[in-house]
Structure 1
Amino acid sequence: MGGIGKTTLVKDIYQSQELSAMFEKRSCATIKHPFDLVELIGSLAVQLDEMSYRNKDMADVDRMKLGVKSSLAGLLAGKKYLIVLDDLSSTTEWDSIIKHFPIDETASRIIVTTRVESIGKYCSEKDGNIYMLKSLGDRDARDLFTKKVFIAYQCNVMISLL
């Protein structure tokens, strides 16, 4: 189901200081539709190896992205990494993505958000790794909204939501 906070939740977790200290490499990408494997892998690689991309112009970065499909596993080999793939929409996408990651014993994690439960199950080795978000009730949604917006900006203004 769309619009229930999957992306927001995962990005909050991804950006947490506590979690970032646990991984040597981290990368987060939203999967665009139509699916573009080269663009996705390139986006992940730029984040994983930002020193190599830091002083390059966009044309150089685009050329480098074309060559990273084979080197993504090399960037991650032997390292503990966290990858977030947001909005996976098919098992075919997963199959084309996962083969670019190393298979090792580093306790690395790949977090996937999807709207389709069967895709989540397909991507996971264990059912216990799947967390299904449920829609918030009206009151819980309002409370969360108020907490995020007004506390974040230290504002004491009360509003009435329709």
Structure 2
Amino acid sequence: MTTTAYAALLSLARSIHQILDLDPLIHKQRIISLQEKVESIITFLEDYSEKHRGTHDRVGNEIRNAANEAQDFMDSYLCLVSTTHDALSLDRDLDMAFERIDFIWEEAMEIMKKDDTAKDLRSRTHSSRIDHSSGAQVTGNKVVEFDDDLDAIKESMYEDSSKLQIIPIVGMGGIGKTTLARRTYEDSIRAQDFDIYAWATLSAEYKKVDTLSKLLQSLKKYTSTDANQQSGESEAQMAKRVYQSFLGRRYLVVIDDIWSTKAWDDLKMIFPDDGSGSRILLTTRLSDVAVYAGSSTTSFHQMKFLTEDQSWKLLEEKIFGQESCPLHLVELGKMVARNCRGLPLTIVVVAGLILSSGNMMEEEL
């Protein structure tokens, strides 16, 4: 996959995160589904495009163009949500964004078709006439039951300390960091453990002003001030507004996908440590960032790869639902699961491609 295609997909993912920070949000479940699909495609292509460099020029350009078009529709959606709330226009923009993402999904299948092992499993699964409507749904809301990870994070969050605690979650792309942070965050909102909540997704292309804007947008429902940057407002003034929103309150903040110690140095001063027992979850791919940002009293949480057995069980569940895999497909399925390198999102994407390949297989036959 070309660098420009990858950058276009990352930009699209950031836009979707920004929309999810809005409250109240129309079409929330559809947008979460779109978010999960885009992030899964990114993770999948990071792996598979390296194996099939010959597809880069054509497929990379098509993915870039489709991602840019989807970005335009999501930007239009964001503008409409912030202004007119025109239901017909909102539906149209969201439908068009889904159409372009579905096209990228199909391009991902083109890459996967070059993987002989996965192609063989698709062929045999199709010939076994598995009923794909039996209830095996590929969704990202619970990619994996991160029960042990969730328990560890919550233990750190709820330890008896009034000091601000920074809790980093570390692991490579596709291993489930954001999913774990999202589950922790949403569980806490349901339990009303904190007074105020905020979420901001960063990226390798970090800009402080963008992060401040995302935090203010996320904090909008807790404050009486306008979340958008006021006319002539400086970055320092935005930072002051964020700080004052947190001051004197017990807050939970997620800083998702932080890439550098400099980014943390830029942000840490906006989080008051006033003895209210506040917590910050950081997700990062870089252990040095986690060590640098983490509280001295807590160690970072390292996400583990799935074992081969766990990978196979997840793939089997996503393809066959409550049914068992036919015996003649088990060995082949385990081979495909091994090739996913223990990454949950990659396994989910591969399962989705296999489940959605019926029409393609009929054409080949």
User: TM-score if structure 2 supplies the norm length?
Assistant: 0.37
How far apart in 2 are the matches of 1:9 and 1:49?
A: 24
C-alpha offsets along residues 72-108 of structure 1, whole Å, 9 cap, x if unaligned? 1100100000000111111000000111111210110
* Alignment-mate amino acid for residue 39 of structure 1: D
**How far is 1:50 from its partner?**
2.4
Where does structure 1 differ by over 6 angstroms across 4 or more consecutive aligned residues?
A: none
Identity of aligned residues (%): 25
| Distance change (3 Å), C-alpha of 1:101 and 1:39 | same
* Partner in structure 1 of residue 180 of structure 2: 9
List alignment gaps of at least 5 residues for structure 1. Answer: none
| Distance change (3 Å), C-alpha of 1:18 and 1:111 | same
* RMSD (CA atoms): 2.9
How far apart in 2 are the matches of 1:142 and 1:21?
A: 37
How far apart in 2 are the matches of 1:53 and 1:78?
A: 16
* Partner in structure 2 of residue 143 of structure 1: 313
* Partner in structure 1 of residue 241 of structure 2: 71
**How far is 1:122 from its partner?**
0.7
- Partners of 1:37 and 1:97 within 8 A in 2: yes
How far apart in 2 are the matches of 1:63 and 1:18?
A: 28
How far apart in 2 are the matches of 1:120 and 1:14?
A: 19
3-state SS in 1 of match to 2:304: coil
Query: Which structure dedicates a bigger proportion of its chain to strand?
Result: 1
C-alpha offsets along residues 1-59 of structure 1, whole Å, 9 cap, x if unaligned? 222111111111111157651101111121033111111111111111226689x7xxx
**1:1-162 alignment to 2 at 5 Å?**
1-17=172-188, 20-50=191-221, 61-63=228-230, 67-126=237-296, 128-144=298-314, 156=322, 161=333, 162=336
3-state SS in 2 of match to 1:110: strand
How far apart in 2 are the matches of 1:114 and 1:158?
A: 36
List alignment gaps of at least 5 residues for structure 2. Answer: 1-171, 337-365
Query: Which structure dedicates a bigger proportion of its chain to helix?
Result: 2
The structure with the largest alpha-carbon Rg is 2
User: TM-score if structure 1 supplies the norm length?
Assistant: 0.78
